[in-house]
Amino acid sequence: MSMPNSNTIKIGGACGFWGDSSLGTEQLMKVPGIQYITYDYLAELTLAIMAGMRMKNPEHGYALDFIDLMKKALPVAKAKGIRIIANAGGLNPAGCAAALQQAMTEAGHTIRIGVVSGDDATSTLGQLRKNGVELTDQHSGQTAPPFFLTANAYLGAFPIAAALDAGADIVITGRVVDSAMVLGALVHEFKWQASDLDQLAQGSLAGHIVECGAQATGGLFTDWEQVPDWANIGYPVIDVAANGSFELSKPEGTGGLVNKAVATEQLLYEIHDPANYALPDVVCDFTTVNIEETSPNRVKIWGATGKAPSDLYKVCATYPEGFRCIGMLSIVGFNAHAKARRTGEAILERTRAMFKRQGLADYTRTSIEVIGSETDLGPHAKAQLGHEAMLRIAITHTDKKAAAIFSREIAPAGTSYAPGTSGNFGMGRPNVTPLVKMFSCFVPKHLHSAVVQVSGEQIQYLEPEHPKVPTVDQAATAKAIQAVSVPPELIGKPLIEIAHGRSGDKGNTSNVGIVARKPEHWPLLQHLLRPEQVKGYLAHLVKGEVHTFELPQVQAFNIVMQEALDGGGMTSMRNDPLGKGMAQVLLNMKITE
C-alpha cells in the first residue's frame, strides 16, 4: 500500500484514450513521490470496437496492448509503491486481469490485481423491455432497437476504492465514468463518504482534468504556438488535498504548458451544464470553481461544490444498422477542388446505376467533402479553388453487397475522371465495416451491483447509501444583456482575438467551451455568444437548440448545441464526427457591434 509522503495525494494521468502514447507511463513512473497512475481507455464508441474483437475471440474485448505496457511498468510500479487504476478491461475486465496475471506469474512477479465489473447492462435493458418499459434515447427520443451489441452502465468510484481498500496493486475496471479512477483513489486515501458531496465534486473535477492525458498540459490548446516541445509533452500530475483542492502540474523537464487558460479549457471539456454535471456519485457544480497560477507550469484549482446524485445510472449502448464505407482520393492541378467534387458525384452516379441494374436499394446516406475547401466553415468559407485537394466520400447502406460495390469503384477514378488524380494514399480498396450506432438511456441504480474481486476472490461490496437530497435541474435561462460598447479596433476581427476555445461531443450534441482572454472581454463575449447568434453562425452544422451557460468565476462559457454532429460518432458522415474542430469554427466568427 502506498504511503503518502505529505498531506496530499500525488496522481498522474498517463492515458487519455485507447491509442494514446506510452510516453505518459515512462514520464510518470519517474515523478518523485507519485502514488497513483490512472489510465482512461474508454471513449463512448470504444466498447463497440471491443465488441467486434470479442465476436472474433470471446477471450478478447479489452485493451490488448495494456498487457504489453504493464509487463514492464507494473513490476516497477509495485517496487516504487505506485498503484495503477485503469478502465482497460472494457467489455471483459476479468479476461484482461487473467491475461495480466498470467504475464506476471510467468515473469515471477506477485501482483494483487483488483477487478471491478457489473457494468454490463445488456440483460438489464432486456428485462426492462420484458417488463413493458419503453426505452427511449435520451438525446433523440427514438425507441430502442431490437437488440444491442453492447450496453454498459457508467459505474462510480466507490467500487474502485473498495478494491484499493483490499490491497490491490492494480485495479482494472469495465465501464466507469472517466473521472472515477482518480476519485476512487481519493475516496480510498481520504475515507470520503457518500455524504461528502463537495469533496466528491472536487475529486471528480480532479479526475476530469486529467482524464484526457495531455489535454491538461497544453494538448489542443488554442494558442498552440505557445506550447513548447510537443514531441515530449508532459502528462498531467495532480497533488490533491483532503478537502479536494488540488494543484495541476507536469513532470520536470517535459514539454507542454500548464497555465490558467489551459486548465480552464479542459475544465469546460464535454461537461454540458456546468452547474449540473451529473456523475454516479455526485452532481457537480463547476460554476463555483477558481483557478489560479501559483508558479510556472502549476495552477491551483478549488471551489467545486456537490449535490446529491440521482438514483439512475446512465447506460451507453450500441447497435448495428447496416454498413458504411469511406473512400479518399488526392487530386492535384488546376481547379483541384472542383475536380474532386465532380469525381465524388461521378462515383455516386455510377454506383447508383449499378445498384438499379442489380435490384439493390439506394444508399441510406451519402456525403462528399472536399478537404481543403473549408467545408466546416460552410457559408463563411473563404478558400479559393486551389491546386490540390482531398476528396472524402462516405456512404451507408443496408446491404453489405452494395457497400462493397462502392468500395470497388473508388480506384477507377485513377484512370477515368480528373487529370491529376494522384492516388488513394496506398490504402487499396476502403474497408466495408458494420455501421454501429449509439443509444443512451438511464436505468435505476438498484438494478445494478458492482462486483469487486481482488486476487481472484470476490470481496463483500455494498454500494454506499447516497444522500437523497432532491435536486432541481437548472435549464439555461435567457438573461438581460447589458449594452456593450465594442472597441472599434476589434470590429470585424475573429473571436479568437478575445477568446480561447475547446470542443468535444456527447453523441450528437456538441460542447464548445469559450474562455475570455482578459476579464474585460467577458461582457463582450456575453453579447456575442447569445444562443441565437451562435445558432445563426453555425446553422450549416447545428440543427437543434443552443444553450449558453456561464462560468463567471473563470470568465468562461459552455455552449451546448444539440443535433450538431450529423448523428455523432460512427453515425456521422462528417470528417469531424466528434466536433473536435467546432471551437475552431466558432472562434472564426467575426466580432460585430
Give yes or no: residues 303 and 334 share one domain.
no
Q: What b/e string do you get for 469-489 counting C-beta neighbours within 10 Å, with b at 16 or more?
A: eeeeeeebeeeeeeeeeeeee
pLDDT above 80 for 481: no
Give yes or no: residues 389 and 273 share one domain.
no
Give yes or no: residues 522 and 577 share one domain.
yes
Query: Does residue 443 sit within a domain?
Result: no
Give yes or no: residues 287 and 327 share one domain.
no
HSE toward the beta carbon, residue 65, CA cutoff 13 A: 9
Give yes or no: residues 260 and 351 share one domain.
no
The CA angle 192-194-197, to the nearest 5 degrees, is 85
Pick 466 or 517 by higher pLDDT.
517
DSSP track, 495-513 = GGGTEEEEEEEETTEEEEE
pLDDT at 43: 85
Which CATH number fits the domain that encloses residue 397?
3.30.70
Instruction: Give the residue from 289, 309, 329 where a domain finishes.
Output: 309
Instruction: Give the residue from 376, 411, 436 where a domain finishes.
Output: 436
Mean pLDDT value across the chain: 94
Is the CB of residue 256 less than 8 Å from the CB of residue 219?
yes
pLDDT in tens, 73-125: 999 999 999 999 999 999 999 999 999 999 999 999 999 999 999 999 999 99
- Distance (Å) of CA 395 to CA 328, 342, 402, 508, 571: 12, 16, 10, 18, 11
Pick 448 or 216 by higher pLDDT.
216
d(CA 274, CA 260) in angstroms, rounded, equals: 18
Taking the whole predicted model, whether its pTM rises above 0.75 is answered as yes
pLDDT in tens, 568-587: 988 999 999 999 999 999 99
**Comparing C-alpha atoms, which of 589, 578, 586 is closest to residue 559?**
586
pLDDT in tens, 174-201: 999 999 999 999 999 999 999 999 999 9
Place of cell 469487486: 452
Confidence band, pLDDT 50/70/90 cuts, at residue 2: very low
Beta bridge partners of 390: 330, 371
Which value, in Å, is the radius of gyration of the alpha carbons in the chain? 25
**Comparing C-alpha atoms, which of 578, 591, 576 is closest to residue 377?**
576
Give yes or no: residues 387 and 423 share one domain.
yes
Query: Does residue 194 sit within a domain?
Result: yes
Share of the chain above pLDDT 70, in %: 96
Give yes or no: residues 338 and 424 share one domain.
yes
Query: Does residue 444 sit within a domain?
Result: no
Count the domains in the chain: 3
Confidence band, pLDDT 50/70/90 cuts, at residue 396: very high
Query: Does residue 408 sit within a domain?
Result: yes
d(CA 66, CA 87) in angstroms, rounded, equals: 10
pLDDT in tens, 248-273: 999 999 999 999 999 999 999 999 99
Give yes or no: residues 383 and 500 share one domain.
no
pLDDT at 480: 53
Confidence band, pLDDT 50/70/90 cuts, at residue 48: confident
pLDDT in tens, 435-475: 988 999 999 999 989 999 999 999 999 999 988 866 455 44
pLDDT at 593: 85
pLDDT at 476: 45
Query: Does residue 420 sit within a domain?
Result: yes
d(CA 478, CA 561) in angstroms, rounded, equals: 16
pLDDT above 50 for 513: yes
- Indicate the DSSP class of residue 549: E
Pick 52 or 122 by higher pLDDT.
122
**Comparing C-alpha atoms, which of 251, 264, 104 is closest to residue 172?**
104
Give yes or no: residues 37 and 176 share one domain.
yes
Confidence band, pLDDT 50/70/90 cuts, at residue 49: confident
What is the pLDDT averaged over residues 403-415?
96
**Comparing C-alpha atoms, which of 389, 454, 385, 398 is closest to residue 114?**
454
pLDDT at 478: 47
Give yes or no: residues 174 and 287 share one domain.
yes
Query: Does residue 469 sit within a domain?
Result: no
pLDDT above 90 for 5: no
Query: Does residue 390 sit within a domain?
Result: yes
d(CA 170, CA 160) in angstroms, rounded, equals: 10
Instruction: Give the residue from 309, 339, 364 where a domain finishes.
Output: 309
pLDDT at 3: 40
pLDDT above 60 for 477: no
Sheet of strand 546-551, all strands in order from the earlier edge strand to the far edge: 499-506, 509-516, 556-561, 546-551
Q: What's phi and psi for 556, nearest 5 deg?
A: -135, 165
Domain that holds residue 565: 488-586
Give yes or no: residues 398 and 492 share one domain.
no
**Comparing C-alpha atoms, which of 276, 299, 295, 300 is closest to residue 286?**
276
Give yes or no: residues 277 and 423 share one domain.
no
Beta bridge partners of 176: 155
Query: Does residue 479 sit within a domain?
Result: no
**Comparing C-alpha atoms, which of 250, 192, 187, 185 is closest to residue 221?**
250
d(CA 521, CA 487) in angstroms, rounded, equals: 10
d(CA 354, CA 356) in angstroms, rounded, equals: 5
